[in-house]
Amino acid sequence: MSQHYQHDVLVIGSGAAGLTLALTLPEHLRIAVLSKGNLANGSTYWAQGGVAAVLDDTDTVDSHVEDTLNAGAGLCREDSVRFTVEHSREAIQWLIDQGVPFTRDDQTAHEDGGFEFHLTREGGHSHRRIIHAADATGAAIFKTLLEQARLRTNIELLEQRVAVDLITERKLDLAGERCLGAYVLNRASGEVDTYGARFVILATGGAAKVYLYTSNPDGACGDGIAMAWRAGCRVGNLEFNQFHPTCLYHPQAKSFLVTEALRGEGALLKLPNGERFMQRFDERAELAPRDIVARAIDHEMKRLGVDCVYLDISHKPADFIKTHFPTVYERCLDFGIDITREPIPVVPAAHYTCGGVVVDQSGHTDVPGLYAIGETSFTGLHGANRMASNSLLECFVYARSAAADIMQKLNQVSAPANLPTWDASQVTDSDEDVIIAHNWDELRRFMWDYVGIVRTNKRLQRAEHRVRLLLDEIDEFYSNYKVSRDLIELRNLAQVAELMIRSAMERKESRGLHYTLDYPEMLPEAKDTILRPPIYGD
Alpha helices by DSSP H, listed for 5-87, are 16-24, 61-71, 78-86
Q: Strand, helix or coil at 407?
A: helix
Which residues are catalytically annotated? 290
Residue 371 near residue 364 (C-beta atoms within 8 A): yes
Nearest to 226 by CA among 473, 435, 490, 420: 490
Q: Strand, helix or coil at 383?
A: coil
Structural domains of the chain sorted by starting position, each given as residue range(s) with its CATH number in brackets: 4-239+354-412 (3.50.50.60), 244-348 (3.90.700.10), 434-521 (1.20.58.100)
Residue 311 near residue 93 (C-beta atoms within 8 A): no
Mean pLDDT of 312-338: 95
- The Cα–Cα gap between 531 and 533 comes to 7
Compute φ and ψ for 477, nearest 5 degrees. Answer: -65, -45
- The Cα–Cα gap between 3 and 368 comes to 25
- The Cα–Cα gap between 408 and 399 comes to 14
Question: How do 235-236 and 344-353 pair as beta strands?
Answer: unpaired
Burial of 52 (0-12, 13-18, 19+ CB in 10 A): buried
pLDDT at 112 over 60: no
**CA triplet 284, 290, 292: central angle to 5 degrees?**
60
CB atoms within 10 A of CB 471: 17
Residue 114: its pLDDT value, please? 44
Burial of 218 (0-12, 13-18, 19+ CB in 10 A): middle
pLDDT, tens digit, for every residue of 415-427? 888 899 998 888 8
Burial 188-203 (b: 16+ CB within 10 A, else e): eeebbbbbbbbbbbbb
Residue 113: its pLDDT value, please? 44
Residue 267: its pLDDT value, please? 97
Q: Strand, helix or coil at 348?
A: strand
- The Cα–Cα gap between 76 and 240 comes to 12
Residue 108: its pLDDT value, please? 52
- The Cα–Cα gap between 314 and 342 comes to 6
Give this prediction's pTM: 0.90
pLDDT, tens digit, for every residue of 194-240? 999 999 999 999 999 999 888 888 889 999 999 999 999 999 999 99
- The Cα–Cα gap between 242 and 98 comes to 30
